[in-house]
């Protein structure tokens, strides 16, 4: 799994890893890229969703699509 995190959250996620396999592989002034070696579970997805727009799933595509579906369902419930 590969995620992109906005710069304001990089230090926080780095200090409290989401999983034992977490690695920060890239950091810029705008964002950080973390990787994980795991099978994404419902709990992991929920953990990512709790960061809202501060976290973007880059890989794998199947997890990215699951996140999109979760967000679309939330939009249906809360809408604007």
**pLDDT score of 45 more than 80:** yes
Comparing C-alpha atoms, which of 49, 59, 50 is closest to residue 25?
59
**pLDDT score of 80 more than 90:** no
pLDDT, tens digit, 9 for 90 and up, residues 14-35: 999 999 999 999 999 999 999 9
The arithmetic mean of pLDDT across residues 57-64, rounded, is: 97
- Both tokens assigned to 54: 């501060």
**pLDDT score of 79 more than 90:** no
Mean of the per-residue pLDDT values of the chain: 96
**Strand, coil or helix: 69:** helix
Minimum mean pLDDT range among 53-57, 66-70, 76-80: 76-80
């Amino acid at each position: 799994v590969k995620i992109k995190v906005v710069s304001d959250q990089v230090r926080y996620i780095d200090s409290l890893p989401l999983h034992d396999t977490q690695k920060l592989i890239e950091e810029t002034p705008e964002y950080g890229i973390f990787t994980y070696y795991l099978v994404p579970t419902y709990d992991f997805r929920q953990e990512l969703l709790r960061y809202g727009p501060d976290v973007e799933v880059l890989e794998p595509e199947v997890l990215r699509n699951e996140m999109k579906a979760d967000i679309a369902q939330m939009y249906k419930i809360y809408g604007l």
